[in-house]
Amino acid sequence: MQVFIMRHGDAALEAASDAVRPLTLCGCDESRQMASWLNSKMPEIDKVLVSPYLRAGQTLATVREALKLPEGQEVLPELTPGGDPGMVACHLQALAIQGVHAVLVISHLPLVGYLVSELCPHEAPPMFATSAIACVDFDAEACEGKLAWQVSPSKLAKAI
């Protein structure tokens, strides 16, 4: 199974709480740019997992503008910044066993880095710029993955 792990787009610093910080215009633009790039690279995504926080949901809405995704999404409380990467990895393993081939996960720092490390035991948790995406090739039977690539908006800009 391919697991695409994306950090939400750039978000406003000021809000009533961390959970309701909205995306900035730059965050929307960078997320759309990353989705458009991903659209040219990959197979169809079967499942979407997203954090319950506002900026993650807004990132997903922006990504949907440029990337064909299945209807609906699964909102997981474990995908918040302090969530449990082990629980998310177990959920992903269950999805893989059910025959899901590609999953998009939209979450936050530090969880996105810890999730890569949880799925790929030989990888230190990588840093994620906002809107960055990492691809993990995950083998459910071995319960182990391999980090295939990681791309951020600034890397895309340099490649163009």
Where are the chain's structural domains?
2-157
Residue 44 tokens, joined: 């169809």
Longest dimension (CA), the chain: 44
Strands 2-7 and 133-139, by their bridges, are antiparallel
In the sheet where 2-7 sits, what is the strand order? 74-75, 47-50, 102-107, 2-7, 133-139, 144-151
34-84, pLDDT tens digit by residue? 999 999 886 689 999 999 999 999 999 999 999 999 999 999 999 999 999
Residue 160's pLDDT is what? 52
95-152, pLDDT tens digit by residue? 999 999 999 999 999 999 999 999 999 999 999 999 999 999 999 999 899 999 999 9
- What count of other Cβ atoms lies within 10 Å of the Cβ of residue 116? 23
Determine if the pTM surpasses 0.85.
yes
Q: Residue 106 and residue 117: Cα distance in Å, rounded?
A: 16
